[in-house]
Structure 1
């Protein structure tokens, strides 16, 4: 008999490595966008879809993959997902054009959707209640770390090699996870054969696709009739899905409504959406601020963001243990308050002509707050879920968080872009006074639409005509840099405040949680018997 089969800590190590790899790919691509544009000859819109294709496939399939884990075996789904993800990563790295890369990124998203729901549900199953808090603390630290290591690792790989290595690096990791998983992960116990809710899958997937696609593309098409129709179709499909699922609640539905009868499950899903707003509201403007305003390289910007990772790692482990002993309510409230407070602090101290030193302390505080949310959310959302529904619960929870991320991206991006257009115009009028009268009109006009080119360094897009004297050209470029720097900081502040406000709404939602830790109603987490281990091996 393989002594490692079913060992909880060995199982956790394999799951955490696979989980880390998939979440890393949500952020690692952003730092490589300039290199991809140059080397693939792609448009910025095509490269943005390299990220969107992954996020879209992930959001659409998480609920289905979570339920499939319940019906076909979590070990099978996890290892199959790792195989799909690894092969898709290799194909991404070998892509010769943007269309190929987008298609293989979608395939990566399919693999990630198969992996992510299984990690949380397997952890809850294999760990007894007394040790589950520490295990979920590691899981939470993995989630927090992956989000901020992505830019750091991506910057290093792009600077030293090229963009293809942000995908190639997944291949050896995937092989290791598959080999270890075959030896370590417990196989499914023998159960009766289950039915698969195919109509529910079609309706849910179509609804999530229309919603995510509409939110992703809305700003690009100025929220025109087509986008509104797509979002309306998502609402109609969702209504149809809910009506259909209501009629088969006694016949193994894709989404068991009984999950939402538990107050903790419902509230934590709301909290998860709020945290997604915080993550997106921080990472999107901060990445642009570091590179386009402070002029940092991709690698240096990634290193600054390691401070965020450090804060998250410091707090995630203890938060897992405390949430098991004291309950999730006050940890979540404190964590989201610290998260929002760090963002407000950062918005206040950020300056166009400053340095990264001023934002390190608020960045660390933000990381501490974020680390206090991941594990308590995981612990509370699964606490009263029956064993046979753990995959469905994990899938629903992760799907709602991904949809929350897409919604956050749409809202945060719209606020940032709208405010940036106004701020650049105001700054251009102010700085134009420093230029000769003949140069003021073209200078101001050049910034009218600059806010629509986020992250490309708006000041670089305003180049003086070739016949302009060198001294005047230098003055125009200097003024343009000041316009973009001060304008972006002016736009970044309200953007971060919006995200902080949504986090505070999450704090209010967490008030509905029970404040005292009660015995878990979750019947799983029991160790496997010797007979079961013998049967599995």
Structure 2
């Protein structure tokens, strides 16, 4: 092969990898959000209460969140391709089995397995892109990955609503099978085998940290969910929440002492970076919670069909897609603090609009406008805030920094969903409604009050996110020095990097 032909092959390979990771994004992120619109249908099909139906969402998110750091470290030890393909195979098999389940317990177990599969896919997507793309194109490759992951996540309700209305809830799992098989087959032939010499050697896996992190999240999610099922007067949910707090303290103690921790706590001791992490967590919490509020209010209060509900929720996806590239343009003149704060402010305006829409009868025009603001705000916010987290760090610490952000992002999605479902579930119980199966007749206004309370909580969270973003300090205008240090063990000031150079 001539040098020119060899160069052409090398130039095509990164884009082939991006196609593989895009299929992985569609499989994992659409799967994680499409089931939101199916909760009423699944609740009715199995005749289960709301607290049990909630686990169709929580089980997936819990296993994903608790294992994503674990699999990120394992990929360094066993190889990215092997773990990525294993995740695709497990996701495809679990989806096929879920399409034919006969009881809710089995479905919840399969949702857990899907979460395990997603945890082995998501961290490897970013790493494989970083391995494949040359430095001059890396920012472009990672920014495209950000956009595809965000759009896939937001498109979930639209796809789920269309499939649910046409073919029933089982189709939401069955549709994963051809996409999963295609992604697996393409990955086998496209992804190159890694050089064993490049794998991490001599690293001790942090078994204690992994176990404690999983236990913390499991106890927290179960405790929140059981508050709805067992009632506020029962002592058991509070014992689970206390256990979660104890596990968290033990986890932090272990991470301070082990040589190679899952989380480098030194990264969250700097004020600016810690506030950027906090902002990302709060924005993600509100983003996941508003999807639950909108989807369930449309179906339970307004009597909308799954397809209509998915169309409303798709306003978020479209605005994210349009707004995401704007952050790169704005970063030419304004700092990451300014751009991310502007995105947080726009999202806050949207959450206020959602609350007002619930107060005045849920007019569709106001709801659409509010969701466009929320999606646009998140699209503008994400990349510059992530750049602030990654900026000023040497290359060998950017991976763990982004790993912490990923854990916070997924933890916020899980908590936002669980707490919102708890609030809505309690309002349903107060109105003597035991599930999501049918539209709710609410003459007393108890259920509507629950949705309004959840929407008000979103305003509080979004306000806190804006305050954190504004408080982290730094310049308002962009400042790009001609040269910057190439290696530092720590960073105390934000160094601008391309807002498209980091992935979710």
**TM-score above 0.5, yes or no:** yes
The secondary structure found in structure 2 opposite 1:94 is coil
Q: Name which of 290, 298, 310 aligns with 1:290.
A: 298
Counterparts in 2 of 1:238 and 1:408: CA distance versus 1, 3 Å: same
Offset at residue 146 of structure 1 (A): 2.6
- Corresponding residue of 1:211: 220
Matches within 5 A, 1:308-457: 308-320=316-328, 322-323=330-331, 326-350=334-358, 355-384=363-392, 387-388=395-396, 392-416=400-424, 420=427, 449-450=431-432, 456-457=438-439
1:498 and 2:457 correspond? yes
Inter-partner Cα distance in structure 2 for 1:417 and 1:90: 30
User: Residue 103 of structure 1: which of 90, 104, 109 is its match?
Assistant: 109
Of 26, 29, 34 in structure 2, the residue corresponding to residue 23 of structure 1 is: 29
**Cα distance in 1 between the residues matched to 2:451 and 2:76:** 43
Q: Which residue of 2 aligns with 1:239?
A: 249
CA distance in 2, matches of 1:376, 1:59: 23
Q: Is the 8 A contact 1:383 1:522 kept in 2?
A: no
What's the secondary structure of 1:219's corresponding residue?
Answer: helix
RMSD: 3.2
- Rate the CA distance shift 1:271–1:324 in 2: closer, same or farther, 3 A: farther
Counterpart of 2:261 in 1: which secondary structure? coil
Alignment of 1:128-147 (within 5 A): 131-147=137-153
2:38 alignment counterpart = 32
Cα offset, 1:358, TM superposition: 3.1
Task: Give CA deviations for 1:225-260 in whole Å, capped at 9, x if unaligned.
Answer: 2222222222222222222222223xx222233433
CA displacement at 1:315 relative to structure 2: 0.7
Aligned match of 2:500: none
Q: CA deviation at 1:113?
A: 0.9
Whole-Å separation in 2 of the counterparts to 1:146 and 1:499: 23
> What TM-score, normalized by structure 1, do the two folds share?
0.78
Tell whether 2:167 aligns with 1:161: yes
1:220 alignment partner in structure 2: 229
In structure 2, relative to structure 1, the CA distance for the partners of 1:231 and 1:351 (3 Å cut) is closer
Return the alpha-carbon distance in structure 2 between the equivalents of residues 514 and 347 of structure 1.
Answer: 33
2 CA distance for matches of 1:506 and 1:187?
42
Structure 2: tracts of 5 or more residues without a match: 1-5, 488-496, 498-504
2:75 alignment counterpart: 69
Distance 1:393 1:94, change over 3 A: farther
Is the contact made by 2:212 and 2:247 (CA closer than 8 Å) also made in structure 1? yes
Distance in structure 2 (CA, Å) of the matches to 1:402 and 1:40: 28
Give the aligned partner of residue 508 of structure 1: 467
Q: Which residue in 2 is equivalent to 1:196?
A: 205
* 8 Å Cα contact 1:219-1:414 kept in structure 2: yes
Residues 141, 313 of structure 1: 8 Å contact kept: yes
Distance 1:43 1:234, change over 3 A: closer
Q: Distance in 2 between matches of 1:314 and 1:264?
A: 28
Per the alignment, residue 184 of structure 2 pairs with: 178
Q: Is the 8 A contact 2:280 2:385 kept in 1?
A: yes
Is contact 1:74–1:118 with CA below 8 Å preserved after alignment? yes
Query: What is the deviation of 1:487?
Result: 5.4
Q: Which digits, 9 at most, give the CA deviation of each residue in 1:101-141, with x for residues without a partner? A: 11111110100111122223444555566644444433332
Superposed displacement of residue 154, structure 1: 1.1
Instruction: Evaluate the alpha carbon distance shift between residue 113 and residue 407 of structure 1 in structure 2; reply closer, same or farther with a 3 A threshold.
Output: same
Checking the alignment, whether the CA contact within 8 Å between 1:5 and 1:185 is kept in structure 2 is: no
Say if 1:207 and 1:235, in contact at 8 Å, map to a contact too: yes
Larger CA deviation: 392-401 vs 382-391 = 382-391
Q: Determine if contact 1:70/1:388 at 8 Å carries over to the other structure.
A: no
Which residue among 282, 300, 304 is the counterpart of 2:308?
300
Larger mean Cα displacement after TM superposition, 156-165 or 448-457: 448-457
**Secondary structure of 2:9's aligned partner:** coil
Task: Give the Å deviation of 1:386.
Answer: 5.1
CA distance in 2, matches of 1:373, 1:522: 27
Q: Is the 8 A contact 1:216 1:406 kept in 2?
A: no
Deviations 1:84-107 (A, max 9, x none): 111111111122222221111111
Shift of 1:60: 1.4
Deviations along 1:336-375, one digit per CA (max 9) or x if unpaired, are 1111101212322446656423322222122111211233
Number of matched pairs: 473
